[in-house]
Structure 1
């Protein structure tokens, strides 16, 4: 589950096995009715996090993420 830390989206990094890793340049897409934030961590590893509709809209309105496809 993604959380907001200091205004940004954070997620679990599978490659480094660490929690609350900040996502760089996240893009929020809507696929099958789910809001999915995709981006990279500081090392360039791909990351993804599933968000709720309210959380996704808050991040877009605050400028923490950009809209992707499916909206």
Structure 2
């Protein structure tokens, strides 16, 4: 789900894989790291990732910290 240049996720609405997420925010909910954002068409998307991937995306500037930190 995560690539070196940003966070990608599956778009349920368009049924396509590896869609880049625009302005992702990573929250911690129930011990899980969840990146939420939108795709280019404005559809809401979410991706669940591990702690290491979440911290890497925040350190690289690909995402912002949300609630739960």
TM-score bucket (shorter structure): over 0.9
Q: Runs of 4 or more off by more than 4 Å in structure 1?
A: none
Mapping for residues 8-23 of structure 1, pairs under 5 Å: 8-23=6-21
Residue 63 in 1 paired to residue 61 in 2?
yes
Deviation at 1:49, TM superposition (A): 0.3
Which runs of no fewer than 5 residues in structure 1 stay unpaired? none
Which runs of no fewer than 5 residues in structure 2 stay unpaired? none
TM-score normalised to the size of structure 2?
A: 0.97
Please state whether the residue corresponding to 1:16 is helix, strand or coil.
coil
Residue 39 in 1 paired to residue 37 in 2?
yes
**Residues of 2 paired with 1:56 and 1:50: CA distance?**
9
Give the structure 1 partner of residue 50 of structure 2: 52
**Residues of 1 paired with 2:49 and 2:55: CA distance?**
10
Give the structure 1 partner of residue 2 of structure 2: 3
Deviation at 1:3, TM superposition (A): 1.9
**Residues of 1 paired with 2:31 and 2:18: CA distance?**
24
TM-score normalised to the size of structure 1?
A: 0.95
Instruction: Summarize deviations over 1:29-55 as a string: whole Å, max 9, x none.
Output: 000000000000000000000010000
